[in-house]
Chain A
C-alpha cells in the first residue's frame, strides 16, 4: 500500500495576537523600522514536530482538546497555511471539507452555487456538469434550483452544501467537524457518505469531537495534545486513553437546585454492588447507579428510568422502574432510585441519562427530567489482555467455553 500523506517534523508557530497585530497600520510598521529594539513577540506553537504518515485507503481520526492543533494540522494538509518548519506532502487530489458550503453566495441561485462551490472544492466544470443531476437529487432541492440561496431554509442550505461535497472525487478527503452542524439525520448522512468514501479505497482524515463518529469511521486515531502527537494507533486504545484523560474523575454529580421545577434531579452517583462509591469499577463487577430526585408536589404515576449510552452513541440499556414494578410512585418528597447493572457490558465509557416522567390519561407521557446525569467508566477486567480490550463488541458477559478433543491427528511440532 502506498503513502497518501506524509507529515514530517511539522511545526507551526503563531505570533500571539498575529491576527490583530498583523493588520497593523502602515504607520506602525514604519515606526517599528525606526525603533531600536522591537518588542519581542510572544509566540505559541500550534503544532510542534508533528510526524504522521497515512497510507492510501486509511481512515484516520484526529482528536484532541480545543487548541490542541487539530485544525492547524488540517490546514497544513490542505495547504491553506504553510508550516513554520518541516513539510507536509499529499499525493492525489485533496477534498478540503473544512466547512459546508464554502463560497456559497446568498444572492446566487442554487444552481449557480452548486457550480461555484464545486469549483471551489476542486471539481472541474465538466465534473459538475456530469454530476449535476445526482447532486440535485441527493440534496432534494430540484424545485428551488433557480431560487436565490438566501430564500433557502437552513436545512435545504445544508443539504445542498453537503450534496456538492458528497459528489467530490478526491483521493484524500479532509473533514473538519462538519458534522457538528445539522440534525441527527444529516449527520447520519454525512457519516454514511464518508464511510462509502472509505470503502472506495480513498483516504480520509477526519477531525471531530464526536468520538462515536470517529470510532465508527476510523481504524486509526491520532491524538494531539498541545500541538504534539500524544498517541497514534488503533482506534480503540487511543480513544480509551483520551477518554481517560478527559473524563470527569468524580463518581458523583450534584445538580443545582431549581425550586420552581415540580420534579428535579438532585444528584447522581455510582457505587459498586455493595453501595460503596469507588473510582474504579471493572467490567466484570456489577455497578449500581443511584439517582436522588425530589417531587415537590404529588404526581400520580411517577416513573423513573435510566438510559446508558456507549461512546459510539449506541443505547446499550434503557430501563424504567415501571418495566419491573407495577407499583408507581406518586407522593411528594425526596426519592433515591438505584439500578444495578449486571456485569455484561464491555469496558468503556458510558453516559447515564436519567429520565423521570409520569403517564397521564390517554397514554401520553409527561417528562420532567431527561438529561445526561453521569459519565461512568467501566474498566477492563484484571484478566483482560490488550488484544481483547481492542476488540469491539456490544456486550461482554461472562461466557462459558468448552473445548473437547474429538480425536486428534498428529501434527508436526512448530508448524
Chain B
C-alpha cells in the first residue's frame, strides 16, 4: 500500500528549486561547458587541478618505454655515446670541425644529449594526442597537458646522460666552474623549446595527417641548423643573431658554457630566448583555439 512514486515524495523540494534565485544556482563550484570562443584562455587552475594526471601520463610513458625495450635504461646511455663515436669520427677526424678548444667528443656529447632530448620530446609531444585518442574521446582533461607531459620522460634520460658526462669530464680533466650552477636554467629553457614545438605539432597533427610524415624531416633539418656538431663561433657577426633565431642555439651554447667553460653565449642567447618563448606562447594560443574540436576529430 506504500505509494512511493517519486513525484509524490518531493513536490515541495522541487518547488523549492524553482523558487531559488538563479544567482545562487550559478555560484561557486559550477563548471561550465560552452561553445568555444574565438580565443579561449588557458586556465591555470584547471591545469593545476589535473597536475597528477600529467605526471602519471609521463610516468606511464616512461614505464612502458623501459619495460618494452630489451636494454631499458641502457638506451639512454648507448644512444648519445653512439652518436658521439660517429660524429667524432666524421666531423672531428675527417672534416676537422673546430670545437672551441674543447676535446671534440666532449663538445659533441653535450650537443648530442640536448639534441636527443629535444627530438624525443618533440616526437612524443607531436603524437601525444593522436596516440591517446582513447583518452581524449572518453574523459575530460585539459588537452594541453598531453604535449606538456610528453616533455617530462626525456628529462630522466637526460639525467642519466649527465652521469656519463661526469665520467667524460673527469677523463678529460675538466672541472666545471661556478657557471655550472646555471645549467638547470638551460635545461629549463630546453624543456620550454621542446614543449613549444611539441604543442604546435600536437595540435597540427590532430588536424593534418601530413605532420606525421613531415616530422622526421623537420627534426633532421633542425639538427643541422643547430650547433650540435659544430660551434656557433663558425657563424660571424650579425649573422649570429639570425642564426640564434633558432632557439636551440642559445640552449646548446649556454649548456656548453655552463658545463665545459666554452665561450659564453652572449647577447645572441637573448634572441634565442625570445624566439623560444614566442614559439611556446603562439603554440599554446593555437592549441587552445583548436582544442575543443579534438574529441570530435581524433
Q: Interface of A with B (CB < 8 Å)? A: 1-3, 6, 14, 18-19, 22-27, 29, 53, 55, 75-92, 94, 96, 98-99, 102-103, 105, 107-108, 112, 115-116, 119-121, 124-125, 148, 219-220, 233-236, 387, 390-391
Contacts and interface: CB of A to CB of B under 8 A. Distances in A.
Contact of A234 (B7, B26, B135, B138): B7
A390 B5 CA distance: 7
Given A82-B33, A116-B60, 7 more contacts: A85-B35, A91-B30, A98-B138, A103-B135, A107-B64, A112-B60, A236-B5
Contact of A119 (B13, B56, B136, B138): B56
Contact of A120 (B31, B36, B53, B295): B53
Contacts of B13: 1, 55
Nearest to A123: B52
Contacts of A116: 56, 59-60
A82 B36 contact: yes
Nearest to A18: B296
Contact of A82 (B14, B17, B52, B292): B292
Contacts of A85: 35
Task: Sort A-B residue pairs by CB-CB distance and give the 5 closest, nearest first.
Answer: A219-B6, A79-B140, A81-B295, A82-B292, A119-B56
Given A18-B296, A125-B52, A102 B64 contact: no
Contacts of A75: 295
Interface stretch (B158-166, B205-213, B274-282): B205-213
B5 A14 contact: no
B208 A26 contact: yes
A148 B33 CA distance: 37
A83 B5 contact: no
B134 interface: yes
9 contacts: A1-B16, A25-B208, A79-B31, A80-B138, A88-B33, A89-B32, A98-B138, A387-B5, A391-B3
Contact of B139 (A76, A98, A234): A98
Contacts of A22: 207, 293, 296-297
A75 B138 CA distance: 8
A102 B14 contact: no
Contacts of B20: 2
Interface of B: 3, 5-7, 10, 13-14, 16-17, 20, 25-26, 29-36, 52-53, 56, 59-60, 63-64, 67-68, 134-141, 206-210, 292-293, 295-297
Contacts of B292: 81-82
B33 A79 contact: yes
Contacts of A88: 32-33
Given A1-B16, A23-B209, A89-B32, A391 B56 contact: no
A391 B7 CA distance: 11
A205 to B, nearest CB: 14
B72 to A, nearest CB: 13
B33 A83 contact: yes
Given A1-B16, A6-B25, A92-B29, A27 B210 contact: yes
Contacts of A29: 207-208
Which of A14, A24, A148 is most buried by chain B, counting CB atoms within 10 A of its CB?
A24
Contacts of B3: 391
A78 B17 CA distance: 23
B296 A234 contact: no
A234 B5 CA distance: 8
A80 B295 contact: yes
A225 to B, nearest CB: 22
Given A89-B33, A99-B138, A116-B60, A234 B208 contact: no
A270 B206 CA distance: 56
B10 to A, nearest CB: 8
A55 B52 CA distance: 30
B210 A82 contact: no
Nearest to A28: B208
A364 to B, nearest CB: 45
Given A78-B140, A98-B138, A18 B209 contact: no
B52 A119 contact: yes
A107 B68 contact: yes
A234 B295 CA distance: 33
B5 A391 contact: yes
B64 A105 contact: yes
A235 B7 CA distance: 10
A14 B33 CA distance: 17
Contacts of B52: 119, 124-125
A70 B17 CA distance: 25
B170 to A, nearest CB: 37
Nearest to A83: B35
A112 B29 CA distance: 31
Nearest to B132: A103
A18 B29 contact: no
B5 A102 contact: no
B26 A89 contact: yes
Contacts of A103: 60, 134-135, 139
